[in-house]
Amino acid sequence: MTEFEYAAPTSVAEAARLLSQAKGRAKILAGGTDLLVQLREGLRHADLVVDVKRIPSMTEIRQESSGSWRIGAATPCQQIENHPGIRSSYPALADAVRIIGGWQIKNRATLGGNLCTSSPAGDSLPALIASHAEGIIAGEDGSTRRVPMESFCTGPGKNVLQDGELLEAFVLPAPPAGSSGAYLRFIPRHEMDIAVVGCGAMLAVTNGKITAARIGLGAVAPTPLFAEQASQGLLGQVPSRDIFAQAGEQSRAIARPISDMRSPADYRTHLVGVLVKRSLEIAFRRIQGESIDPLHHSWTAESSSL
Amino acid sequence: MAKKTHVTTTLNGQPTEFLCEARQSLLEVLRDTLHLTGAKEGCNNGNCGACTVLLDGTPVVSCLVLGVEVEGKSVTTVEGLADASELHPLQQCFLEDAALQCGICTPGFLVAAKALLDENPCPTEAEIRFALAGNICRCTGYDKIIRAVQHAAERLTLRDGILLAKQK
C-alpha cells in the first residue's frame, strides 16, 4: 500500500473537520474490508485514512424513546446479527448481515461501509429499504441531514455523500404491529458469494389483512430499488401465495438488470418474481410464529398455513 | 522514511509494543516486525482466512486490519493457543485426525475454530461449517477439519467437566 497518514478521532465533529481539511484526499475507514483492498490494489488513493471506530455514537446500537432503533454506521455486521432487539424487530436485516460474508469479515465489515460502498448487490441495502431505514449524514458544520435508504445510492459505487460529509448512523422506525420480514439472496452455491439477486421484505398483518409492506431489491438495477407499487398493492389484501406472486410480478416490472458473469439479465428478472414471493411468504410465516432459517429452508416439500 | 506510530497492545496475553507505518497491515507487523510467522499470507485481500487472528476475542483477517488499529486491544495468534507443555486440544485433534496436508490454512482454521468453541462448546456440524466458511482449504476437502473440530469439542467439554468436578 502507498503511504498515508492515519487518524482515529473520537467524535463526529473531529472526524468531519479532518475530512474537510483533507479536501477530498481522505478516506473513511470503518471495517476496512473494501477500503484496504482497494488501497492495496491501487483502485483508490488516500493521503489520510480516518478510522471512525473510536467514535462512540458510530459504534453503538440503541433503542430511542420513540421505539425506533439507532445503529451506528461503524457497527460490525456480527454485532447487528447478535443483537436480540434487532433480530426481533428487523428480521430482514438480521438475515442479510448473517450472510454478508464469513465470520472474520462480519466481525469487521460494517453496515455503514456496506451502504457507502454503494454496490448494487450490497446485501444489507434491500433489507434496510424494507425496514424503512434512514441514514443520518453529518456535515462539517455540525449539521445533520437524513436520507431514506432508497435515495442514498445514485449509481454503482456512487451515493449522495458530499466531500466533508460522513454517514454517522442509521435510524430504523419501530416496526409496525404484527410485522416480520426476511431477506433472501440467490447465489449459485450455499454461502459466500455476491448476490445474483437479493430481496428484502417487511410485512405487517392485522385482523387477517396486510397493513404494511415494503419490498427492497438488490442487484437488478444500478442502485438498490424500493418496489413501491408492488408494496402498496399488498395493502388491504388477505395474505396468500397468489397475492405474494402478484407482488413478485409487479416487482419484476421495475427490474433493469445487466447481464454479467453471474447471470444473464432475463434470469435476474425471473428471480425477482421468485424471491419477492418467497421472502413475503417467509415474513408471513414468521408473523405466525414459525421459526424459519432461510438458508436451510426447503421450497420443494411445502407444508404451510398459506 | 515514512513516519512510524508507537502501538501498545496485548499480544497472546503479553503486553507488547511495536512501531509501524500507518499503511502496514497487522499481518505484516506480526510476521515481519514481531516475527510471529504462524498467521499466513494467503490471498492478502480477505478471502482465504489463512491470516485469521483474534482481535479482542473475535476472529478477523489480519491482512484487512491496520497495525495502528490494534492500539489498546488484545490480539491472539495461533502461537497463543498451546501452553508451554502441551498443544491445545484443537491442535492435537488436527494432528490425530490428519486435518491438514500442506498446512498453510491450518493456523487460520485453528484460530477460527478456537473462537467458535469458546463461544459455542458443542457446535453442530452445520454450525462448524458455517463458522469456518471464511477459511479456505485446497487440500483436505474440509471433512477431516470438521471432524477434528468435533473431536476437540468433545475433548474440551470432557476436560472442562472434569475440572468442574474437581472444583466441587
Residue of A306, A269, A282 lying closest to A94 (CA atoms): A282
pLDDT at B162: 80
pLDDT at A140: 85
> How many Cβ atoms are within 10 Å of A215's Cβ, its own excluded?
33
Of A1, A51, A102, the CB nearest to B69: A51
Please name the residues in contact with A11: beta carbons below 8 A apart, sequence gap of 6 or more: A55
- One digit per residue, the tens of pLDDT, for chain A of length 306 reads 889 999 999 999 999 999 999 988 999 999 999 999 999 999 999 999 999 999 999 999 999 999 999 999 999 999 999 999 999 999 999 999 999 999 999 999 999 999 999 999 999 999 999 999 999 999 988 999 999 999 999 999 999 999 889 999 999 999 999 999 999 999 988 778 999 999 999 999 999 999 999 999 999 999 999 999 999 999 999 999 999 999 999 999 999 999 999 999 999 999 999 999 999 999 999 999 999 999 888 887 665 567
How many residues are there in chain B?
A: 168
Q: Which residues of chain A from 60 to 79 reach within 8 Å of chain B, CB to CB?
A: 78
Judged by a CB distance cut-off of 8 A, whether residue A54 touches chain B is: no
- The interaxial angle of helices B143-167 and B89-96, nearest 10 deg, is 140
d(CA B29, CA A18): 27
CB contacts of B22 in chain A (<8 Å) are 3-6, 49
> How many Cβ atoms are within 10 Å of A68's Cβ, its own excluded?
18
pTM to 2 decimals? 0.96
| Interface with B, mutate which of A45, A75, A104 (most B CBs under 10 A) | A104
Residues of chain B with pLDDT under 50: none
**Is the Cβ pair B61, A105 closer than 8 Å?**
yes
Angle subtended at Cα B32 by Cα B29 and Cα B35, rounded to the nearest 5 degrees: 95
Judged by a CB distance cut-off of 8 A, whether residue B43 touches chain A is: no
SS3 B32: helix
- How buried is residue B150: exposed, middle or buried, by Cβ count under 10 Å (0-12/13-18/19+)? middle
CB contacts of B66 in chain A (<8 Å) are 6, 29, 32, 36, 49, 51
Judged by a CB distance cut-off of 8 A, whether residue A32 touches chain B is: yes
Judged by a CB distance cut-off of 8 A, whether residue B44 touches chain A is: yes
Is the ipTM higher than 0.85? The answer is: yes
C-alpha cell at B57: 476475542
- Determine which helix (DSSP H) or strand (DSSP E) holds A13, and give its type and residue range: helix A12-21
Q: Strand A5-7 to strand B74-76: parallel, antiparallel, or no bridges (unpaired)?
A: unpaired
Residue of A262, A176, A175, A180 lying closest to A218 (CA atoms): A262
pLDDT at A301: 61
| Interface with A, mutate which of B1, B7, B23, B43 (most A CBs under 10 A) | B23
pLDDT at A144: 96
Of B44, B52, B66, the CB nearest to A6: B66
**Sequence-distant contacts of B13-21: CB under 8 A, at least 24 apart:** B13/B76, B13/B80, B18/B67, B20/B67, B20/B68, B21/A3, B21/B67
Please name the residues in contact with B97: beta carbons below 8 A apart, sequence gap of 6 or more: B144, B147, B148, B151
Residue of A119, A267, A141, A275 lying closest to A194 (CA atoms): A119
CB contacts of A104 in chain B (<8 Å) are 46, 49, 52, 59-61, 112, 134
**Is the Cβ pair B52, A191 closer than 8 Å?**
no
Judged by a CB distance cut-off of 8 A, whether residue A177 touches chain B is: no
pLDDT at A305: 60
The label of the residue with cell 439479465 reads A265
**Is the Cβ pair B2, A3 closer than 8 Å?**
yes
β-strand partners of A185:
A198
d(CA A22, CA A45): 13
